[in-house]
Amino acid sequence: MIEKSYVMVKPGFANHIEVINEIKKCIWALGLKIIKGEYVSYSPDLAKKHYAEHVGKDFYPKLEKYITSDVAYGMIVEGENAIAKIRRVVGSTKNPEKGTIRREMPKMIGREIDTTENVVHASDSQESAEKEIAIFEKLINSNEKI
């Protein structure tokens, strides 16, 4: 099934073009297309909408502070089973597997692997993808372009 997914290179990593390029290569290697990619800045309000399922959890304040700290690089990705394919290559949030983006990309820029301040976000379902793409579209169509 052809799907769209949202992938975000998070602050702290989005200002490293080599990280963005490596993530794009991983996406292309899966046979997926990047149909839109742009730098964006999340406000606290949009961060809450994006991560609504985490608001109120003990780690959320640190996550919101991180996501709103600097620019991120968002991408709309499309292709056959895009969501599952991307989630596999991204890796788990806690203890990411060897060879995954969350495990390998921090090493490129000399950073430690961190559960909250990790390198990338990827939609985990079609419903999440639709919500996250809508937020991304709102960001890139706003008057506050970067």
Under 8 Å between Cβ of 31 and 77: no
> Is 50 known to be catalytic?
no
DSSP 57-123: STTHHHHHHHHTSS-EEEEEEEEETHHHHHHHHH--SSSPPTTSHHHHHHHHTT----SSS-SEEE-
Instruction: Give the pair of three-digit tokens for residue 61.
Output: 């304040």
Give phi and psi for 119, each to the nearest 5. -75, -35
* Active-site pick, 16, 50, 54, 121: 121
The residue among 41, 38, 33, 26 whose CA lies nearest residue 108 is 26
Q: Which residues are catalytic?
A: 121
